[in-house]
């Protein structure tokens, strides 16, 4: 799957490699996609205290495909914090960038 992370900094910045490492830590745990998305957003919010955070995860679910329920089953989850939750314009801009 793919994981897109966006944040609007306030006082602290983190590089792309830091975001990749954070994602790697959470994706190596056995868990559900909804919790993964929320935990990454919550961790960034807690550590960086940014103005806003948005995490979008799109993953292929082989559990559905292998049982014959659906073909090419992709599920998208998102977690919004701060400005991304309050301002639809900011949220729309991020969604346009990740398409």
Q: Which residue ranges form the domains of the chain, and what is each CATH number?
A: 2-98 (3.30.1130.10)
Give yes or no for residue 63 having a pLDDT over 90: no
Residue range 27-58, pLDDT digits in tens = 999 889 999 999 999 999 999 999 999 999 99
Confidence check: pLDDT of 94 > 80:
yes
Q: Specify the pLDDT at position 40.
A: 98
Q: Using pLDDT thresholds of 50, 70 and 90, give the confidence band for residue 2.
A: very high
Q: Is the pLDDT of residue 65 over 90?
A: no
Q: Which residues neighbour 36 within 8 Å (Cβ) at sequence distance 6 or greater?
A: 26, 27, 29, 57, 77
pTM comes to 0.89
């Amino acid at each position: 799957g793919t994981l897109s992370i966006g944040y609007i900094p306030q006082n602290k910045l983190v590089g792309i490699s830091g975001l990749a490492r954070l994602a790697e830590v959470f994706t190596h745990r056995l868990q559900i996609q909804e919790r993964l998305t929320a935990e990454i957003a919550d961790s960034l919010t807690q550590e960086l205290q940014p103005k806003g955070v948005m995490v979008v995860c799109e993953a292929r679910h082989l559990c559905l495909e292998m049982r014959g329920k659906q073909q090419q089953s992709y599920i998208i989850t998102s977690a919004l914090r701060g400005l991304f939750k309050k301002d639809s314009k900011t949220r729309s801009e991020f969604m346009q960038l990740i398409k």
